Chain A
């Protein structure tokens, strides 16, 4: 019999069967209370057919803006409120070429890609992968 549940000043941990929770790494845990603060809410893909603004319904009114991470090819975006996180994706010093964020009002995640950036960012069409993290559950 091994120790499976640990409650101490760090919080609560439950290990996988056969793993002693006292020596378990995070990968050996079924649950850890320290992970709740950044629990993924939803994830998926969006087809980006061209340059423009694309809204992805998220369907929830968050108390605070959720954290969003998206990636296409080798490029990773992160954002919170829409239009608060612009990015210079071609490295030319102009930071208004892309944005990712949550749009209050219609509960949509919005990805914007401008018409004036140059390579090396992938030219549409491409598939954007994304994850929304729910701060509200912290």
Chain B
């Protein structure tokens, strides 16, 4: 598997195995940064004969082993990132995707300092004190996106009833 990433370590394109050699050559020629995660050898498995029956050594007990199936590695743009050439899982915000509030009710959540809340008008609100707070001031549904790479992007909806 190939994971192509930007200067922050965000994975922008992945190519599943088996990756055609032409694609690897094209990425190398472009000078873009990438991690190559080749398939891993699987554990040895017992050989089967032409009818699908397991094969044993002459003693009739010891199984005849052959190479196991390859294990393809899995990397996702939204779940992983690259740091120092290694793949890591992106952490998650400790914030639910749906928040229900009564009018006048307040909900607070701890988030990493510098996180950005983006509203449906694409207005950005930087959270400098590490506290994300919503107050139910008017009934309705409000959609936001919470960002702070390498944290996973979170789409959340605040419903005030």
Contact = CB atoms under 8 A, between A and B. Distances in A.
Interface of A: 1-2, 4, 16-19, 41-47, 56-60, 107, 125, 127
Contacts of A18: 48, 51-53
A47 B80 CA distance: 12
A134 B50 CA distance: 32
Interface stretch (B17-25, B92-100, B104-112, B132-140): B17-25
A41 B50 CA distance: 30
A19 B51 CA distance: 8
A1 B15 CA distance: 40
Is the contact region of chain A dominated by helix, strand, or loop, or is it mixed? loop
A44 B20 contact: no
Interface in B2-20: 2, 10-16, 19-20
A127 B77 CA distance: 7
A43 B13 CA distance: 10
Interface of B: 2, 10-16, 19-20, 22-27, 30, 48-53, 76-78, 153
Contacts of A59: 20, 22-27
Contact of B13 (A1, A2, A44, A125): A44
B11 A42 contact: no
B20 A60 contact: yes
Contacts of B19: 42
A1 B49 CA distance: 9
Contacts of B78: 47, 127
A46 B76 CA distance: 9
A36 B52 CA distance: 25
